[in-house]
Amino acid sequence: MAKITPRSQDFSQWYLDVIREADMADYAPVRGCIVVKPYGWSLYENMRDLLDKRFKDTGHVNAAFPMFIPISFLQKEAKHVEGFSPELAVVTIGGGETLEEPLVVRPTSETIIGHMYAQWVKSYRDLPVLINLWNSVVRWEKRTKPFLRTMEFYWQEGHTAHATHEESWAEVMQMLDVYHRHGVEDCAMPTIKGRKSINERFAGAINTTSIEAMMGDKRALQAATSHDLGQNFAKAFEIKYLDRDNTEKYCWTTSWGLSWRFMGALIMMHGDDQGLRLPPKVAPIQAVIVPIFKNDAEKSSVMAVCDRLCQTLKAAGIRVKLDDREETPGFKFNDWEMRGVPARIEVGPKDVANNTVGLARRDIPGKAGKSFVPQDGLTERLRALFDEIHLSLYQQAAAFQRANIHEVNTYDELKEATKDGWALAPILDDPAVDAQLKEELQVTNRNFPFDQPEGEWACVVTGKPVHERALVGKAY
């Protein structure tokens, strides 16, 4: 098995090595695109299914919309087309003929959603509309970094329409919290909820919120966003309804999305020099059984126990795999550690005799993470272990995040703090300030956390009085 680059030596190369060696993805023949292999897609499916349940629990339903959008649709909302123009893929020929109107390959669906909502919504009785899409989108990108930066990527995009701004803003905040809880409860991922700066708003939105996550190299990653679109798209597409008072009014709309870059975040937040470390709720394989024997006699008794345990765990709903490959146990241990399987069950002749198994947890390396437990009750023991592993991964990531966010009050302190971490700094919400930070320090305003200390401070860039602090750091 090929070695992976240590994280401390080259974090970016470590990330690429892990994706390759864990058999998650490969590069496609089209520049900017990747092929997601079964192990990587299984991880995505598990995350998707958990998130989809959260959407449905809040009253949302799934639908599908076309990937081709008339270019005139994007031109109806000025800021939207301006924001997306550099990233568009445009189809001008179809069926061998030049199209009367070019079609854009979907970069996001606000415009075609707006067109359809205008036809569907007539009365206050039709509201709210709560629709989510699972699809891929295309934003022209020549650089490729699997799951983080690709030309085509998979995601979900929610689109809702409401009667009042109060309702639409409540939707924005609700869905941001759904993302945060998905991170914490499903992926053991601490994130910070906040409002994006004016400069970082989604094109066409009046407000954008985000959850930001700290990666293992202390860079920030925007893990998900939830947008307050106001009435901008409603007015551009004539999404109107007849209210109870018999007057026609424009709807208030939202959109929100989380892409497979959340998988990238999972890898970079939890992974170590041995490879992936996956939270049990999303891991493609939660436990692997590795038989250990020296001869055919031992093999017969060991495999009988392995088969029995595998069937018992499968019947209990645990995602388990029996590794009966003709490789050494050491090779298998390394392989499954690389793939981040939360628990490894070892069965040798002594275990057969003693009615035990060796149980090793991926989050704690070496002997400290291994114990010998009875075969009886293994299902319940694994379930409890999965909860322990989830909490362990979360606590490690949260402690790392806390230790690397520094509260600062001057520009020099900001400069020093962001060399190797994040700063929580009083910052004026002004595009010129954002531009200066990017040019001089190569850092960005990640968001203004909703959890703010009270007080008034001088902006570290302009000296003007401000009442909120921003998270600032280098980002993906």
Residue 104 has pLDDT above 90, yes or no: yes
pLDDT, tens digit, 9 for 90 and up, residues 411-464: 999 999 999 999 999 999 999 999 999 999 999 999 999 999 889 999 999 999
Q: What is the pLDDT of residue 449?
A: 98
pLDDT at position 142: 79
The per-residue pLDDT for 28 is: 95
For the segment 283-312, the average pLDDT, to the nearest whole number, is 97
Mean pLDDT of the chain, nearest integer: 96
- Between the CA atoms of 14, 20, 26 and 31, what dihedral angle is there, to the nearest 10 degrees? 20
Residues 6+ apart with CB under 8 A from 232: 77, 79, 204, 205, 206
**What's domain 11-270's superfamily in CATH?**
Bira Bifunctional Protein; Domain 2 (3.30.930.10)
Q: Is the peptide bond before 128 cis (omega within 30 degrees of 0)?
A: yes
Asked whether residue 334 carries a pLDDT value surpassing 90, the answer given is yes
Q: Is the pLDDT at 343 greater than 60, yes or no?
A: yes
The pTM (predicted TM-score) of the whole model is 0.96
Residue spans of the domains in the chain: they are 11-270, 287-385, 405-473
- Pairing of the two strands 192-195 and 444-449: antiparallel
351 pLDDT higher than 80: yes
Annotation: CATH topology of 405-473: Translation Initiation Factor IF3 (3.30.110)
Share of residues in the chain with pLDDT > 70 (%): 99
**Residue 225 predicted with pLDDT over 60:** yes
149-185 residue pLDDT tens: 999 999 999 999 999 999 999 999 999 999 999 999 9
Region 111-119: mean pLDDT is 96
- CB–CB of 187/47 below 8 Å? yes
Mean pLDDT computed over 284-291? 98
CB 252 within 8 A of CB 237: no
What's the confidence (pLDDT) of residue 1?
55
Q: What mean pLDDT is predicted for residues 292-300?
A: 94
* pLDDT score, position 76: 85
Q: What percent of the chain has pLDDT over 90?
A: 94
Query: Is residue 2 very low, low, confident or very high in pLDDT (cuts 50, 70, 90)?
Result: low
- Does domain 287-385 fall into CATH 3.40.50.800? yes
Q: What is the largest CA-CA distance in the chain?
A: 84
- What residues contact residue 149 under an 8 Å CB cut-off, 6+ apart? 141, 143, 476
Q: What pLDDT, in 10s, does the model give residues 228-266?
A: 999 999 999 999 999 999 999 999 999 999 999 999 999
Q: Are 193 and 180 in contact (CB under 8 A)?
A: yes
Q: Which residues have C-beta within 8 Å of that of residue 166, sequence separation ≥ 6?
A: none
Contact 424, 382 (CB under 8 A): no
Select from 475, 472, 401 the least CA-distant residue to 190: 401
